[in-house]
Structure 1
């Protein structure tokens, strides 16, 4: 893994939020999918972790954003939501473990419109004084990759174009979107095994 991505560990992330402003809008859900190389040298999904998150004190909740993600009440007890700090610590733990196992130096966030997810993760980590395992600004964005390989930038359309299944009824939940983004990323990466030969040069 560390040789394939120049010491970086790709980790797929999706967040659901109360708006588009990472400084003031609430982080409501975060899912993480770790990846691994199988015996054949192909990139595959390893494990999925997710947390429902309570809005931080004074955060903004845009009604249109809540409607888009299908969340009526971010404070509903059935969500079993935890604080940002608790969520980040639990979600960062398996990433840090994979960093040690693989010998990678830093995690790199993989996402669909990855800069959006990275900004929310960074701001939450700063608020909670929790060290983030992710590179500060570099990402692998499946929007760009899918646009290049499949001519599609919408996640649902790119997934279908890649020959994978997509269920609209499950879309916009962090877990489903993250796992589909992970499958899309792995499918794209696995199409280019010839690149592995170049690391011997």
Structure 2
């Protein structure tokens, strides 16, 4: 049987390029995006506690960004933290409920970091980057928690780089509110479920994937 060697080389090259497209490393300059939402007992990352954290990892399928796996934890407030009644009324969290199944910051972040480091290695990335709506808020609470539990050396997240879906949505959609940005891309959004870390992370991940993929469809990637 005759085999065209030149044609075979072209096919192998195309397959190699397609496999590269499925590694997040090639899309985000070696950064591994992780979508995160945090619910807290207030706005000050030094004094207020993380009460709930949810994250969604991402993957590329034939060059298109998709949601992958989710982790979700209720967190026991750290000793000496301030608990704002206004914050609890806003996010609807009852920190005294046994049904929360809350765990310590230390335990939660050990599980989270182990998962992220494995995915960083799989995607040949160097660092994880926080993706969130108004990302500076979530990033600041993560960095403070890392210091508090003395896990600085085991922190996979970039120390200052974030991907903020509020800013990206403002640029592409003219919307900065999460619900309105979702509506603009026909992503269902139930306001009665908002301000739950689990729900907000899911909607933010959906939004981020659609924004990235929309940019590709418009011809913005690859450059």
- With a CA cutoff of 8 Å and minimum separation of 6, indicate the structure with the bigger relative contact order: 1
Cα RMSD (Å) of the superposition? 0.9
1:137-194 C-alpha deviation (Å, 9 max, x unpaired): 1100001000111111100111111111001121111011001001100000001223
Residue 166 of structure 2 corresponds to residue 121 of structure 1: no
Q: Structure 2: state its 5+ residue gaps.
A: 1-23
Match of 1:109 among 130, 146, 153: 130
Report which of the two structures shows the higher radius of gyration computed on alpha carbons: 2
State the alpha-carbon separation in 2 of the partners of residues 16 and 65 from structure 1.
9
2:78 alignment partner in structure 1:
56
More deviation in 187-196 or 51-60?
Answer: 187-196
Once residues 75 and 88 of structure 1 are traced to their aligned partners in structure 2, the CA distance between those partners, rounded to angstroms, is 21
Counterpart for residue 139 of structure 1: 162
Cα distance in 2 for residues equivalent to 1:3 and 1:11? 16
Q: Structure 1's 15 and 99: CA in aligned 2 closer, same or farther, altered over 3 A? A: same
The aligned residue for residue 8 of structure 1 is 31
Partner of 1:184: 207
For 1:121 and 1:20, locate their aligned partners in 2 and report how far apart those are by CA, in whole Å. Answer: 13
Where in structure 1 are there 5+ consecutive unaligned residues? none
1:147-186 matches, cutoff 5 A: 147-186=170-209
TM-score normalised over the length of structure 1: 0.95
Q: Which residue of 2 aligns with 1:22?
A: 45
Mapped partners of 1:106, 1:178: distance in 2: 20
